Amino acid sequence: MPETKLIIMSLEKPDLEGLKEAADVLRKGGLVVFPTETVYGLGADALNADAVKRVFDAKGRPPDNPLIVHIADRHQLIDLADEVPEKGQRLAKEFWPGPLTLVVKRTFLVPDIVTAGLDTVGIRMPDHPVALALIEEFEGGIVGPSANLSGRPSPTSAQHVMDDLKGKVDVVLNAGPTEIGIESTVLDVTVDPPVILRSGGLHKESIEDIIGPVRGATDIELLKRSPGTRHRHYAPRAQVVLVGEGNVQEFMKLLQEFRQQGKSVGCIVHSHELSKVESGDYFKVLPSPIEFFARYLFRTLRELDQGGAHVILVEQVAEGGLGTAVMDRLRRAAEPA
Ligand code: TXA
Ligand code: MG
């Protein structure tokens, strides 16, 4: 079992020694957790199948769930992508670095294990100085699933990473809490119109401004194109129950029911109406804007878990923009185990 080394990274001036050490670990097939603007990623050399296998093992990730590859420069696409359709190129130009993962046809250089045997690969350029500096220092693509145990909420701090993966990874680069707090948007550009396989930090509306209409994936398409999405996701240990936005009556009723069952209840709310109720054993308010809710959602789910909540009541948010990604995560977190 590796001893996990925590290296502190400043955002202004990433520590070169630490980066060199981390890149060296990657070259030797080891695992390096790195910060991105969305969540922390569990990094390994994308072209080294043994190293990638370690990523699946450390996370306990089902082998049918493909990994995305992080790059720091569009020239790196040459090794990884067989073809990037014109719409994909326009999006990359506009939004990279940023919270957009493009699914494209892959080259033979990308090991099967990365893509779970699919003929496509997901690629993104993260908007984070430490992530970009690490990729540059390593001089190659780095796989990066979220650095949590499979099924758990994604890590938005190095502490979350340590809670899940201490002793299972070689290095954790700690650059403080992540900015967006929710993962990237995954867009399949091998089809036209492109299909959103996972909503995320980049809004559908922003994508459509650049390339025109895109679609959401149907359930059948999701199974075929992104088989991993059917697995349980984003769930704290506590049971998550969703409450209608601003619905005080429903909120009080659920609260009472769970209390009567002797359960300790955590609450995450945002609206003016529910913020006033101030009830439950752990009561967290994540007021608007939605960016704030997104940034602190996974962190708060983990906190309430640690506090010992049996049930977490979460107030739903309005769909649209980042709200669509937040609701996607909430629905999945609330799915029965
Ligand atoms: O923001 C993010 O995307 C973070 C940071 C670390 O970059 N990474 C992340 O990775 O969330 P992961 O593995 O937790 O989620 C990647 C998603 C999964 O839903 C996976 O099924 C999908 O992307 N995916 C990856 N490659 C794919 C492919 N070739 N075809 C379809 N879906 C793919
Ligand atoms: Mg994940």
165 pLDDT above the threshold of 80:
yes
Mutate which of 128, 173, 183 for ligand 1? The one with the most ligand atoms within 8 Å of its CB, which is: 183
Q: Is 29 exposed, middle or buried (0-12, 13-18, 19+ CB in 10 A)?
A: middle
Give the tens place of pLDDT for each residue, 262-282.
Answer: 999 999 999 999 999 877 678
Identify which has the larger pLDDT, 219 or 203.
Answer: 203
| Least confident piece of the model among 33-47, 218-232, 274-288, 310-324 | 218-232
Rounded CA-CA distance 175/131 in Å is 10
Residue 312 pairs with which residues in a beta bridge?
240, 266
218 pLDDT above the threshold of 90:
no
In sequence order, the 6+-apart residues with CB closer than 8 A to the CB of 285 are 269, 270, 275
What residue spans in the chain does CATH classification 3.90.870.10 cover? 5-223
- CB distance 103 to ligand 1 below 6 Å: yes
Ligand 1 geometric centre to CA of 198 (Å) = 8
Q: For 5-223, which CATH class?
A: alpha beta
Residue 70 pairs with which residues in a beta bridge?
124, 142
Give the tens place of pLDDT for each residue, 91-148.
Answer: 999 999 999 999 999 999 999 999 999 999 999 999 999 999 999 999 999 999 999 9
Instruction: Report which of 202, 240, 241 is spatially closest to residue 37, judged by C-alpha positions.
Output: 202
What residue spans in the chain does CATH classification 3.40.50.11030 cover? 239-333
pLDDT-derived band of residue 232, with 50, 70 and 90 as boundaries?
low
pLDDT-derived band of residue 230, with 50, 70 and 90 as boundaries?
low
SS3 144: coil
In sequence order, the 6+-apart residues with CB closer than 8 A to the CB of 69 are 46, 80, 110, 114, 121, 122, 123, 124, 141, 142, 143, 144
Supply the pLDDT for residue 219: 79
Average pLDDT, the chain: 94
| Least confident piece of the model among 65-69, 84-88, 96-100, 220-224 | 220-224
CA-closest residue to ligand 1 atom 19: 229
- CB distance 226 to ligand 1 below 6 Å: yes
Which helix (H) or strand (E) segment holds residue 54: the answer is: helix 49-59
Query: Counting atoms of ligand 1 from 1, which one is nearest the CA of 61?
Result: 13
Rounded to 10°, the helix 129-138/16-27 angle is: 50
CB 185 within 8 A of CB 37: no
Q: What percent of the chain has pLDDT over 70?
A: 98
Rounded CA-CA distance 313/293 in Å is 14
- CB distance 121 to ligand 1 below 6 Å: yes
Supply the pLDDT for residue 227: 67
Q: Name the CATH superfamily for 239-333.
A: Threonylcarbamoyl-AMP synthase, C-terminal domain (3.40.50.11030)
